[in-house]
Amino acid sequence: MRPELAINLVTLGPSIDFGAAVRLCAAYGIQHIGVTKEQVRSIGAGEANRVLRGEGISVTGYARVPAFPRRDEGGWQAALDEAFRVVDEARTIGAATLIATGGQSGGEYKDLHRARLYFAEGLEILLHRARQVGLPVSLEPLHPMYAADRGLFFTLRQAVDFCHTLPDKVGVIVDAYHLWWDPNFVDDLTRATGLIRGYHISDWRLPTRSLLTDRAMMGDGCIDLPRLRRLVEEAGYRGPHEVEIFSELDWWKRAPEETLKTCIERFATHC
């Protein structure tokens, strides 16, 4: 059975507002979208939920859990407040999962192992709250080029191993862009069976001109997406396949409708 296509709203770029983006997706038959807190906060979680319900669209993942500093540092309480806020917002918009990456803000911890311990302390408090409201939480390993500021987990194995240390069941998001190079991807997908809560797709552009916003449309890069899809499906994942393209230099310059139509076409032909 053909998997369902989800669109992460970042793909449509910053030129379109939340309501218009949701309506555009609905007009093209998209039933699932992924969103960031910046997008949701631009109109408020309650209003975002009304827009989504009005169009019959459900939310896959809500990004993302804040970074957690050391407990005795100034930013701890602010991070906790933010953590509770994203749990509430994710619930309000009915997100299937809240997404964490573990990222720091600004590379302040040179010792990534220690940064992961600090992150775990905050995450455990967030998980307690999430459990109370019945919200699943997922960890997304990021590409190692984000190790300085955005991520703390860089292979699927490292993410799954970390999840197993937590008191609550935490799922994983598999993103082709972040993990296509992962040396143990095949074995570790098998270990991740039952934990996979999302599969994100885009492509790796050659050359990549910016670390953050130069992802390619599926089919325009060097990731073997049909193979990754097969592996993810063999690992039991049956949810939507979500296009997530940050592309300041290309797709974000185009009309959102053109980008969306291309996503739908390439999903059918190149994924």
Amino acid at position 113, single letter: H
Interaction residues for its own copies, span 167-196 (CB under 8 A): 180-181, 183
- Which of helix, strand or coil describes residue 137? strand
Judged by CB under 8 A, the residue of 17, 38, 81, 149 near its own copies is 149
Cα separations (Å) of 81 from 76, 85, 87, 131? 9, 6, 10, 17
What CA–CA distances, in Å, run from 20 to 1, 28, 107? 30, 12, 36
Q: Measured from the CB atom, is 145 or 255 closer to its own copies? A: 145
Contact string 195-234 vs its own copies (x = CB under 8 A): ---------x-xxxxxx---------xxxx--x-------
Rounded Cα gap, residues 8 and 27, in angstroms: 15
Q: Does 148 bind its own copies (CB under 8 A)?
A: yes
Q: Is 165 in the site for its own copies (CB under 8 A)?
A: no
29 binds its own copies (CB under 8 A): no
AA identity, residue 213: T
72 near its own copies (CB under 8 A): no
98-108 b/e with 16+ CB inside 10 Å = b?
bbbbbbbeeee
Quote the Cα angle for 257-6-245, to 5°: 65
Q: How many CB atoms lie within 10 A of CB 3?
A: 16
Q: Which segment (45-53, 71-79, 137-145, 262-270) binds its own copies by CB under 8 A? A: 137-145
Query: DSSP letter at 251?
Result: G
For its own copies, which is the closer residue by CB, 26 or 112?
A: 112
| Closer residue to its own copies, CB minimum distance, 230 or 261 | 230
Q: Which is nearer to its own copies, 49 or 104 (CB)?
A: 104
Residue among 37 and 150 whose Cβ is closer to its own copies: 150
Assess 53 for contact with its own copies (CB under 8 A). no
Site string for its own copies, 96-135 (x = CB under 8 A): ----------xx--xxx-----------------------
Closest CA to 40 of 71, 69, 68, 61: 61
Residues that bind its own copies (CB under 8 A): 106-107, 110-112, 143-145, 147-149, 154-155, 157-158, 180-181, 183, 204, 206-211, 221-224, 227
